[in-house]
Amino acid sequence: MNPKRAILFADVVDSTGIYESLGDNQALSLVNLLFGALAGDVAAAKGTVVKTLGDGMVCQFGSADAAWRAACAMQVSAHAMAPRVPGRLAIKVGFNYGPVVLKDADVFGDTVNVCARLVAMANAGQVLTTEQTVAELSREPRQRCRPLYPMKMKGRAEPVSVYDVPWRADPDLTETSMHQQPPERAGTWVLKLSYGGETFEVSAEAGARIGRDKSNDVVIASPRASRVHARIYARARNFVIVDQSSNGTFVLIDGNDTEVMLRREEAVLGERGWIGVGNPASKHGEHVLRYRLERRKP
């Protein structure tokens, strides 16, 4: 039986921009200094750095709690170094607990692959983990984790329930729940999309396509939108949005502080929120859709 470990990935956000703004030598020195601080956070949590990959770091820990402590400490370290960079220095972190294959001082397996997907989906300054990892946490860190959405990941038959991990105490954090969907099946509800002064009704039977092409149900007049950018359809009790674009689809559920960027992935929509087409939904710009679920009229 393969041993269980907590695997953590940390990536520097927009490292290319850092090198362009600071120059190769100064940027390399800064990244090495950051990695040194992050490695110290890993060691303090009794973990080990498995390897570094350019602007990323792979670590392993004996417990989910240890990875949680390291993830939070790493974000604090990166935040403290941010003033050294014109613009912003930030990292994104994902960690996942489960069985791994240990070989030649490296780690492999599904637990590692899911962790890589988590860090790819994370935003700057964010820590993501999975429901199975949250279940392994002790009471205090578990209570600080907030559910986002079930997400379809490449190589996984079933969606993975993703959680946001706040890494600094904030009394204004909004409590969220995975149970935001209505109790009835999706067929008793319709999804209302508002864009460009118009409202579009999406039924569970028909679904909807969103994109730049005139053949879509909702036509987005933005150069950031793909010809067919995203698709919405009903599954069981939920409405699901699937990204099919080049620039990504952003979903922000009302009551959540963190939005999720989808790249060829899917997410379950909550009762109401915002959808960004090629740009973050949190900016509430010109090409952001407002959505809400409404009970179908008899």
Q: Which two tokens stand for residue 188?
A: 């008793």
Last residue of a domain, one of 132, 164, 196: 164
121 near 88, Cβ under 8 Å?
no
Burial-class residue 243 by CB neighbours within 10 Å (0-12, 13-18, 19+).
buried
23 pLDDT exceeds 70? yes
The alpha helices in 45-86, defined as continuous H runs, are 64-81
Its domain, for residue 252, covers 186-295
- In the prediction, which pLDDT does 297 show? 62
Please state the rounded mean pLDDT for residues 128-144: 93
Residue 171 lies in a domain: no
Please state the rounded mean pLDDT for residues 158-181: 61
Residue 80 lies in a domain: yes
> What's the first-to-final CA gap in the chain, in angstroms?
55
- In the prediction, which pLDDT does 193 show? 96
289 near 193, Cβ under 8 Å?
yes
Are 134 and 204 part of one and the same domain?
no
What proportions of the chain, in percent to the nearest 5, are helix, strand and coil? 25, 35, 40
139 pLDDT exceeds 70? yes
Pairwise CA distance, residues 120 & 92, whole Å: 8
User: How confident is the model over 181-213, as pLDDT tens digits?
Assistant: 433 444 467 899 999 999 999 988 788 999 999
Q: What is the strand order of the sheet 189-195 is part of?
A: 198-203, 189-195, 288-295, 272-277, 249-253, 260-262
User: How confident is the model over 254-294, as pLDDT tens digits?
Assistant: 877 778 888 888 888 888 899 999 999 987 788 899 999 88
Helix (H, G, I), strand (E, B), or coil: what is residue 52? strand
> What residues are paired with 232 via a beta bridge?
208, 241
Q: What is the CA radius of gyration of the chain?
A: 20
Are 87 and 211 part of one and the same domain?
no
Chain-centre distance of CA 125, in angstroms? 11
Residue 172 lies in a domain: no
Are 103 and 138 part of one and the same domain?
yes
- In the prediction, which pLDDT does 34 show? 93
Q: Which residue has the higher pLDDT, 242 or 149?
A: 242
Are 233 and 119 part of one and the same domain?
no
Phi and psi dihedrals of 91, rounded to 5? -125, 160
132 pLDDT exceeds 90? yes
- The helix (H) or strand (E) run that includes residue 143 is helix 139-144
Average pLDDT taken over every residue of the chain: 85
270 near 251, Cβ under 8 Å?
no
Residue 247 lies in a domain: yes
Please state the rounded mean pLDDT for residues 227-256: 86
For residue 251, the domain's CATH number is 2.60.200.20
Residue 51 lies in a domain: yes
- In the prediction, which pLDDT does 180 show? 40
- In the prediction, which pLDDT does 179 show? 38
Are 43 and 154 part of one and the same domain?
yes
Last residue of a domain, one of 164, 199, 234: 164
Counting the structural domains of the chain, the total is: 2
Residue 287 lies in a domain: yes
Residue 176 lies in a domain: no
- In the prediction, which pLDDT does 182 show? 36
- In the prediction, which pLDDT does 87 show? 59
Are 156 and 193 part of one and the same domain?
no
Are 38 and 114 part of one and the same domain?
yes
Are 109 and 214 part of one and the same domain?
no
- Distances in Å between the Cα of 260 and the Cα atoms of 18, 88, 118, 121, 243 are 24, 20, 11, 7, 12
Interaxial angle between packed helices 64-81 and 24-44, expressed in degrees from 0 to 180 and rounded to the nearest 10 = 150
- In the prediction, which pLDDT does 250 show? 93
Are 128 and 223 part of one and the same domain?
no
User: How confident is the model over 81-128, as pLDDT tens digits?
Assistant: 887 776 568 899 999 999 999 998 899 999 999 999 888 878 778 899
For residue 39, the domain's CATH number is 3.30.70.1230
- In the prediction, which pLDDT does 171 show? 40
Residue 207 lies in a domain: yes
Burial-class residue 152 by CB neighbours within 10 Å (0-12, 13-18, 19+).
middle
C-alpha neighbours within 13 Å on the C-beta side of residue 7: 27
Are 9 and 149 part of one and the same domain?
yes
Are 141 and 216 part of one and the same domain?
no
Are 151 and 216 part of one and the same domain?
no
Q: Which of 10-19, 29-38, 85-94 has the lowest mean pLDDT?
A: 85-94
- In the prediction, which pLDDT does 190 show? 87
73 pLDDT exceeds 80? yes
Q: Which two tokens stand for residue 140?
A: 């205090």
